[in-house]
Structure 1
Amino acid sequence: MSGICGWLETDCAASERRQIIERMTKPLAGFDNSPIQTVIKGDCALAIAAAPHLAHLYEVDDVLVAIYGDVRFKQTTPQANIPADNVAAVLANQWRQRGKAILANLAGEFVCCVLDRKAGELNLAIDPMGTRTFYYQPIRNGLLFATRADSILAHPQAIADINPQGIFNYFYFHMIPSPDSIYQAQKKLLPGELLTFARGQIQCEHYAQTRFNETNERPLPELKQEFLALLKSSVSEAAQNQQVGAFLSGGTDSSTLAGILTEVTGKPAKTYSIGFEAEGYDEMSYARIAARHFSTDHHEYYVTPDDVVAAIPRIASIFDQPFGNASAIPAYYCARMAKQDGLDRLLGGDGGDELFGGNTRYAKQYIFSLYERIPAWLRNGVITPLVLSLPSESGPALTKKARSYVAQATVPMPHRMETYNLLVRYGVNSVFSDEFLTQIRPEYPADLLEQTYNESRASSLINRMLAHDWKFTLADNDLPKVVQACQLANMEVAFPFLNHEMVTFSAGLTPQLKLKGTQLRYFFKEALRDFLPDEIITKQKQGFGLPFGVWLQNDKGLKEIAADSLHDLKSRHIIRDGFIDTLLNQHLHEHASYHGTMVWLLMMLEYWHKQHIATQNT
């Protein structure tokens, strides 16, 4: 594992700093024994645990810079006596001249720490897409920071009290979105956020935000040429002359990267796919179509229930927060295959859907938005009350569909996207204990969604949804899933679609090129129609979804660990005992895949407690 940790504190004795920073660094190097660089300077101590090409450390005069990740400058100004390959040196020298304004010139996937002793400031920042996680905790006369929550907990002033709201958010989102965490005292930086700590005060601001240009219409051939050139440059940049391969799910994103990787390297790309012996979950046939089309060096693995049983404790240990995305397991087995083949890095297709309009809910929400075009007096005064007065459970199918449509269409965005939320469907009061409910605000997740949705300042529905998903789907969910699963396998990962130039290009496309009526990814598919196989262009989106609920019905090993975990979870007085019993004995048999998701969430929460809380107490 890799990352940064450290603190700024005026009260710590000099003799203790070395011991404390070594304890904080252990969680960062615990999975892969990454080389560690440590700096203790005045009131500040920090460390980077990472491979040399991902660790950037430099000090000049009163400015100390530490960067973890793949980082570069959008525009580089040559300066004397600064090594061209030392981005920390360039940043340190330019910081002395321009201060925090220089951060807007950074690109890549990174976290950054700048100690400016002359200004009396500690600055923390993460990249605009939030590809890495950065935690912080205020302490007496100082600040703790790290890329892992358990690294912060190794400091003697850290507070490990669990945040009940974080647990509730976990069940609502299936992860804990920033700025919150599972710990009461810890917060996470938002994508593109800069934290400045000075004179005992914390100030947070966005140093970089992508703005949509929704009216810049350009000829399709011109856009296509620029897009294909960007694909090649972003894949080349991500490859970095390493032993590199690509995830291959058989979807448009991973297939595109596999093909481009073959082109830019001049040899068959090494591709890795996961399959499942479960109806409706296996996409291996599409992965094989892409592999044959691009003549890749293709590798496959079929994950079994036994693999899931074996991986669950390890997955729970690598995630420092409760994390409920079960597809972390197939991602891990993919990365493990690549590592066994001697690769250093995998390319992930994450971001393609969220940049170019590929998620099915975008088309669904467009259909609901059509209802808003009806004049308000007619819609609110006549149609809505009339249709909603119709019976919901009886009557003709068309009547029930009309009622369902209007019921959802009248819910304002972004809350309409959560009408099928698992927790909402169960009902908060039926899931959580009375004791737990007194400690949380059930409306908080909705407030967080609305705040993020309204921050994009986009005028079109599709771009507002994309910006929403950059935060909740990418930065809070998919990126941590892939990054942590790969780190568990000691594998680096890069995301070419999240290249700065690619994000800027996407933001400059008109809304109709992303979602044309109900046609998803309109421009993306048109631009790649002569590159990708037709079967890939027209396939329905699926991905690496794990058939946990289906397997749970018949596999003894999964049944045992699920039952044992949920039984142990009862003692924590978070979930109602009756809900757990009904879930296992009734709901799971009614709809295995749907209710299996809740079993997974409960199970992973208990495993997280056992892996992390028990460790803190030993």
Structure 2
Amino acid sequence: MSGLCGWIGHDGTAVENRQLIEQMLKPIVRFDSSNAQTLIGARAGLAVAANNNGMHLYQKAGILVGLWGHVKFQDASLNQLIRTEGVAKILADNWQVKGEKILAGLVGEFSLCILNEDSGEVVLAVDRMGTRSLVYQISREGLVFSSSTDSIIQHPLIQPEIDPQSFFNYVYFHMVPGPGTIYKGQQRLLSGEYLVFQKGTVKIGQYWKANFSEMESCSFAELKQDFHDLLRSSVREAAGNQSVGAYLSGGTDSSTIAGVLGEVSNEPARTYSIGFEARGYDEMEYARIAARHFATQHHEYYVTPDDVVAAIPHIAAVFDQPFGNASAIPAFYCARMAKADGLDKLLGGDGGDELFGGNVRYAKQYLFSLYEYFPPMLREKIIEPLFLKMAGGINPLPIRKVRSYIEQARLPMPARMETYNLLGRYGYQKVFTPEFSASINSEQPCILINDTYRQVHASSLINRMLAFDWKFTLTDNDLPKVIKACELAQMEVAFPLISNEMIDFSARLEPRLKLKGTRLRYFFKEALRGFLPDEILAKQKHGFGLPFGIWLQDHKPLQDLAADSLIDLKLRNIISPEFIDKLLSQHLNEHASYHGTMVWVLMMLEHWHKQR
């Protein structure tokens, strides 16, 4: 996928500046060896690395413009000019006239920089879903920026210092959520954000926010037709003129993409699936059902524990900060299959759950929300005193379930969604050393969660949860997981279900069409009934989950790697040695899948350290 990097405010000769920008480029092209172009000024540098028409640069009279990604304008006249003048020049010309208003008319997936050496002004922006990340740091009246933190720390203006708070946030979220990064002083632009830097000061703004039209009503037939048209146009545009295949997990999203790809390309889609020899984890049969239904050219690979051992150091290296989503492993092996077949790009189904209401917790939170309809007097004077004072362990199962329901339902949103958080279940005081705990704010994850939830402009519970997940599930987790896994395999990836047009369509769907009672993604499934196989529509959601904890029980090389990693992590005085010992000796034997997740998160933290 490559990236973008640059700076303003650092003096050097033309030769020195070119050497510096090339040094910053090294981490960006380390894995996929993309083509790169650079622009050099007197006190500035800018570079973009990309393949397949994802690189756009322009320089004239002190103006430097770089764009990484694929974009178009909502203004048809500007789109006409792209063919003759290029998108970078159009951005330069229109920024001088319209300022940040030009950003609102951009659609696609991108990160960009507009730099004016004469005025010292720099503009940075990322797309509406934050698909292409952009990090920045101010230093001595200068600004350094890049799509990668590893690139920024190559610059002499930057003295990298790891932020302990980010380690805590990582263990809580299993990734470092934006706008923070693993380094102090470095910040990541959030989805739909832009930055204006001038004379040492920074202004952050949003050129786009989700706008839910919750009262808009259209006929189902009209919505279904619009949806099918959008699916075809989004897949067609994502595929472009490249050699393209599709991830196929056997779920509704990946199966839909595979089926539509075959339609728009007028040939069998090439599809790629991962399986596991582990009970309860292998979804290959559903992938085969979809492959047969759409007559795809199907390819399969069964990931083994040995594959996991081999991939872990590489997965840790390709991420520029700690990342703990184990599904990056199967995503990588899938992309490697496609690369071996000579493909240029894979299409992923990510985003369907978060646009159309497909996550199981949406239904759970709906059920919890019903508790609010009981009169406060009844809840506070009768129900809660009756059930919450009962000793939990000695009562019959139905009573325990009612008690658990009340305990969770009485919590406000979004705290109610965090009752299953792994770190919360352990207790952070047991997980971290006292010295480390004294250096962080244990409330920061909750502050970030609350701030994100409250900034959502929606009245319905389902839309508030969807917009919340656009940040934490998509931008911070699932999208970088797939993008970086594909980068490691030297494969491009695109996500048709989160095209700008699809986001707008989702925002105007009535809430009841996303979650009808407890029926998940109601409209999505009904609109695709007859197109997708019935078995796919009826299956329970699973995906590419890795059976790491299960394999850890009896695979010696995996056990050794995990144990060695966590023993080394003890020496960093972050995680309590007593907790690590208990995790490996007791917790894993109690529930391998559940506690295996924490082993993975801590192991990947140590391997990230080893790659620095």
* Structure 2 length-normalised TM: 0.98
Deviation digits for residues 95-149 of structure 1 (CA, Å, limit 9, x no counterpart): 2221111001111111010113455310111001011221111111201100111
Match of 2:164 in 1: 164
Match of 1:113 in 2: 113
Contact between 2:13 and 2:42, CA under 8 Å: does it hold in 1? no
Write the letter of the residue equivalent to 1:266: N
Deviation digits for residues 370-414 of structure 1 (CA, Å, limit 9, x no counterpart): 001112222233322332111111111111111100000011111
Match of 1:598 in 2: 598
Match of 1:616 in 2: none
Match of 2:32 in 1: 32
What are the within-5 Å matches in structure 2 for residues 424-573 of structure 1? 424-573=424-573
| Offset at residue 457 of structure 1 (A) | 1.5
What are the within-5 Å matches in structure 2 for residues 140-179 of structure 1? 140-179=140-179
Match of 1:125 in 2: 125
Contact between 1:60 and 1:92, CA under 8 Å: does it hold in 2? no
Contact between 2:41 and 2:117, CA under 8 Å: does it hold in 1? no
Match of 1:370 in 2: 370
Q: Distance in 1 between matches of 2:279 and 2:533?
A: 24
Contact between 2:125 and 2:194, CA under 8 Å: does it hold in 1? yes
Contact between 1:83 and 1:89, CA under 8 Å: does it hold in 2? no
Select between 6-15 and 92-101 the one with higher mean Cα deviation: 6-15
Identity %: 61
Q: Distance in 2 between matches of 1:78 and 1:100?
A: 16
| Offset at residue 34 of structure 1 (A) | 1.2
Q: Distance in 2 between matches of 1:10 and 1:571?
A: 38
Write the letter of the residue equivalent to 2:130: G
Is residue 2:254 matched to residue 1:254? yes
Residues 255 and 82 of structure 1: CA distance in aligned 2, closer, same or farther (over 3 Å): closer
Write the letter of the residue equivalent to 2:277: E
Match of 2:270 in 1: 270
| Offset at residue 80 of structure 1 (A) | 9.3
Q: Distance in 1 between matches of 2:188 and 2:444?
A: 17
Q: Distance in 2 between matches of 1:247 and 1:81?
A: 34
Q: Distance in 2 between matches of 1:482 and 1:549?
A: 21
Match of 2:350 in 1: 350
Select between 365-374 and 23-32 the one with higher mean Cα deviation: 23-32
Long gaps (5+) in structure 1: 613-618
What are the within-5 Å matches in structure 2 for residues 65-464 of structure 1? 65-78=65-78, 83-84=83-84, 86-117=86-117, 119-464=119-464
Contact between 1:182 and 1:321, CA under 8 Å: does it hold in 2? yes
| SS at structure 2 position matched to 1:53 | coil
Match of 1:615 in 2: none
Q: Distance in 2 between matches of 1:531 and 1:517?
A: 24
| Offset at residue 167 of structure 1 (A) | 0.3
| SS at structure 2 position matched to 1:176 | coil
Q: Distance in 2 between matches of 1:84 and 1:394?
A: 76
Q: Distance in 1 between matches of 2:273 and 2:400?
A: 41
Q: Distance in 1 between matches of 2:12 and 2:394?
A: 70
Q: Distance in 2 between matches of 1:255 and 1:193?
A: 32
Deviation digits for residues 326-376 of structure 1 (CA, Å, limit 9, x no counterpart): 000000000000000000000000000000000000000000000011122
Q: Distance in 1 between matches of 2:137 and 2:78?
A: 37
What are the within-5 Å matches in structure 2 for residues 580-591 of structure 1? 580-591=580-591
Q: Distance in 2 between matches of 1:52 and 1:294?
A: 28
What number of residue pairs does the alignment pair up?
Answer: 612
| Offset at residue 6 of structure 1 (A) | 0.8
Q: Distance in 2 between matches of 1:52 and 1:240?
A: 10
| Offset at residue 241 of structure 1 (A) | 1.1
Deviation digits for residues 145-173 of structure 1 (CA, Å, limit 9, x no counterpart): 00111101111121221111100000100
Is residue 2:16 matched to residue 1:16? yes
| Offset at residue 11 of structure 1 (A) | 4.3
Contact between 1:211 and 1:456, CA under 8 Å: does it hold in 2? no
Contact between 1:305 and 1:551, CA under 8 Å: does it hold in 2? yes
Select between 383-392 and 484-493 the one with higher mean Cα deviation: 383-392
Contact between 1:272 and 1:300, CA under 8 Å: does it hold in 2? yes
Q: Distance in 2 between matches of 1:63 and 1:38?
A: 13
Deviation digits for residues 222-252 of structure 1 (CA, Å, limit 9, x no counterpart): 0000000000000000000110000000000
Write the letter of the residue equivalent to 1:477: N
Q: Distance in 2 between matches of 1:543 and 1:204?
A: 36
Q: Distance in 2 between matches of 1:172 and 1:400?
A: 27
| SS at structure 2 position matched to 1:272 | strand
Write the letter of the residue equivalent to 1:209: K
Deviation digits for residues 570-605 of structure 1 (CA, Å, limit 9, x no counterpart): 000001111000000000011000000000011000
Contact between 1:11 and 1:141, CA under 8 Å: does it hold in 2? no
Write the letter of the residue equivalent to 1:494: A
Residues 294 and 573 of structure 1: CA distance in aligned 2, closer, same or farther (over 3 Å): same
| Offset at residue 77 of structure 1 (A) | 1.9
Q: Distance in 1 between matches of 2:240 and 2:404?
A: 51
| SS at structure 2 position matched to 1:581 | helix
Q: Distance in 2 between matches of 1:424 and 1:81?
A: 54
Match of 1:56 in 2: 56
Write the letter of the residue equivalent to 2:399: T
